[in-house]
Amino acid sequence: MNPALLVLSSSTLVHLSPVDLVIIVFYFVLVLAIGLYLKGRANTSEDFFLAGREMTAWIAGLSFLSANLGSLELMGWAASSYQYGILAAHWYWIGAIPAMVFLGLVMMPFYYISKTHSVPGYLKLRFGEPSRTLSSISFAFMTVLMSGINMYSMALVMKVILGWDIHFSIWVSSITVAIYVALGGLRSAIFNEVLQFVLIWAGALLVPILGLVEAGGPAGLRARVIQNAGEAYTHMWGTMGSPDANPMGIHWTGIVFGLGAVISMGYWTTDFLVVQRVLSAHNLRAAKLAPIIGAAFKMCVPFIVILPGLLGWAVLPFKLTGEDVAVATGGHSYNEVLPLMLARYCGPGLLGLGVTALIAGFMSGMAGNVSAFATVWTYDIYGALIHKNASDKQYVNMGRWCTIVGVIISIGTAYLVMHFKSIMDYVQALFSFFIAPLFGTVLLGMLWKRATKAGGFFGLLAGTLSSIGMWAWVKVDPSALRYIAMSPHAKDMAENMYRALWSCLVCVLVTVVVSLLTKPQPVEELKGLVYGATEIPHEEHVSLLHRPAFWAAVVVVIFVILQIIFW
Distance CA 499, CA 504 (A): 9
pTM score: 0.78
**Do 123 and 137 meet the contact criterion of CB atoms below 8 Å apart?**
no
pLDDT of residue 463: 93
pLDDT per position as a tens digit, 270-286: 776 677 778 777 888 88
* Domains of the chain, each with CATH number or no CATH: 18-535 (1.20.1730.10)
pLDDT of residue 517: 94
Full DSSP string of 143-169: HHHHHHHHHHHHHHHHHHHH---HHHH
**Do 55 and 225 meet the contact criterion of CB atoms below 8 Å apart?**
no
pLDDT of residue 4: 35
Residue 135: which of 347, 403, 436 has the closest Cα? 436
pLDDT of residue 561: 93
Considering all CA atoms of the chain, what is the largest pairwise distance in Å, rounded to the nearest integer?
Answer: 69
**Do 381 and 402 meet the contact criterion of CB atoms below 8 Å apart?**
no
- All residue ranges of the chain with pLDDT < 70 are 1-14, 40-53, 70-72, 114-118, 156-157, 160-161, 184-186, 272-273, 321-332, 364-365, 417-426, 492, 536-540
User: What are 333's strand-pairing partners?
Assistant: 321
Residue 151 amino acid letter: M
pLDDT of residue 341: 82
